Amino acid sequence: MSWCFKRKFSKPIPPAQNRIDLTTALGRSLDPFFFATVRFYVTKINMESIYFEKQEGSLCAQHCLNALLQGPYFTAVDLAMHAQNLDDEERIRMAESGVDTDEYRTFLQQPSGNMDDSGYFSVQVISSCLSVWGLELVRYSSTEKKAVDAQKHPELMKAYICNYKDHWFTVRKLACQWFNLNSLSSGPKLISDTYLGMFLAQLQQEGYSIFVVLGDFPQCEADIVLKNNPIKQVNETSTATSSKQSSASIRPFEGIGYRLGGSSPSCVTQDENEELQRALQLSMAGDVGHPDENGDDLELRKAIELSLRPSSHHSSEGTSSLSKPSSEEADDADLQRALTMSLECIDADEVKRKRLAYFEKLNSTPT
């Protein structure tokens, strides 16, 4: 029976040279978006292998220890028992000097310094819990050899415990990568080896107390998973995307024009005059094909050039032209005033409308 089963269902394994990689095989028919999606979910699965507890009440010490050991090793009751044992040891030491002393009576009246009703636990409680697993805490800023080594090469250590006021959190290396396991975050945060030293220095500047965790940690799933499949940093493309969108949203001719001959904040510079002149000349290029308007275009261009010269923004030119007796000079004065009015606000549609109105006026005038 077993022989028939093997003959019917088993298949020979192809030679190594005939095998094909899954990525290579799928890449022949699928686009890169598929592989990006696969990488995303693989990264998500790998991140889920990291044990992480979100903040509940004031139990950050419990979350810190369990994140450090990568498992639900301690509860609030366990930490309270360690705190009670520490209180008993302190009371025994105080009683050695005599139970009738004022110091001993004062000690009994004071609340516990190792825990409180909110769920806070002292560093002595955390150190006592870690001693069960053979782990030791050394202050990061001390002069001990391990602490000095950690200051020089923080990436060579295994874990750090950070404390500020009543909050505790863990920074631990899993496989070959560092993670910030702060219970106030939404999940584990990857930290590069280069950034680790700067991160610890920043915490010190903010007033955190940092402790180096020494010893052999219990084996965890994340060490195995991340050793074979390390987390890859996702490249941020939001900056490039936003810059592309901002550049695409720029529309021409949406700027604010300036009045000629105005005050210094709103006066037009020489470069703006030249750009305006080129724009007006280009806008009139469509009318050059009509032979009956060539003369008017030439006169209009000359008037524009005169109006854009530095000395042409004074209004005396317009007033002096009113005293000229000839009709041709009167037309020139009207043209000058029209140009001055059209250039008060540089808008392409407004300039075109006034220019067409001027041409209609010329065409309606009997010759």
Q: Does residue 278 contact residue 366 with C-beta atoms inside 8 Å?
A: no
* Amino acid identity for residue 234 in this structure: V
pLDDT at 93 over 80: yes
Q: Does residue 165 contact residue 122 with C-beta atoms inside 8 Å?
A: no
Asked if 84 and 211 sit in the same domain, the reply is yes
* Amino acid identity for residue 36 in this structure: A
Is 60 annotated in the active site? yes
58 pLDDT band, cuts 50/70/90, is confident
pLDDT at 27 over 60: no
Asked if 88 and 170 sit in the same domain, the reply is yes
Domain contains 17: no
Asked if 182 and 279 sit in the same domain, the reply is no
Asked if 203 and 331 sit in the same domain, the reply is no
How many folded domains does the chain comprise? Answer: 2
Asked if 301 and 209 sit in the same domain, the reply is no
Domain contains 304: yes
Asked if 293 and 209 sit in the same domain, the reply is no
pLDDT at 178 over 90: yes
Domain contains 45: yes
Q: Give the whole-angstrom CA distance, residue 115 versus residue 80.
A: 7
Domain contains 322: yes
Mean pLDDT, all residues of the chain: 73
pLDDT at 69 over 70: yes
Domain contains 44: yes
Asked if 309 and 195 sit in the same domain, the reply is no
pTM of the model: 0.54
Provide the 3-class DSSP secondary structure of residue 8.
helix
- Per annotation, catalytic residue among 82, 182, 220, 273: 182
**What's the whole-number mean pLDDT along residues 249-266?**
39
Asked if 87 and 177 sit in the same domain, the reply is yes
Domain contains 251: no
97 pLDDT band, cuts 50/70/90, is confident
Is 220 annotated in the active site? no
Asked if 216 and 285 sit in the same domain, the reply is no
Asked if 222 and 306 sit in the same domain, the reply is no
Domain contains 108: no
pLDDT digits (tens, 9 = 90+) for 269-310: 555 566 556 656 655 554 444 444 455 556 666 666 665 665
pLDDT digits (tens, 9 = 90+) for 356-367: 777 777 666 665
Is 182 annotated in the active site? yes
- Per annotation, catalytic residue among 63, 82, 167, 313: 167
> Alpha carbon of 244 to those of 41, 235, 250, 253: distances in Å?
28, 17, 10, 20
- Assign residue 170 a region (left: φ > 0; alpha: ψ between -120 and 50; beta: otherwise): beta
Q: Does residue 179 contact residue 188 with C-beta atoms inside 8 Å?
A: yes
Tell which of 207, 231, 255 closes a domain: 231
Q: Give the whole-angstrom CA distance, residue 331 versus residue 324.
A: 10
What percentage of the chain carries pLDDT values higher than 90? 37
Domain contains 153: yes
Burial class of 183 by CB neighbour count within 10 A (0 to 12, 13 to 18, 19+)? buried
> Which CATH number fits the domain that encloses residue 85?
3.90.70.40
Asked if 135 and 215 sit in the same domain, the reply is yes
Q: Give the whole-angstrom CA distance, residue 341 versus residue 345.
A: 8
pLDDT digits (tens, 9 = 90+) for 206-222: 999 999 999 999 999 99
344 pLDDT band, cuts 50/70/90, is low
Asked if 188 and 324 sit in the same domain, the reply is no
Q: Which range marks the domain in which residue 59 is found?
A: 32-95+115-231
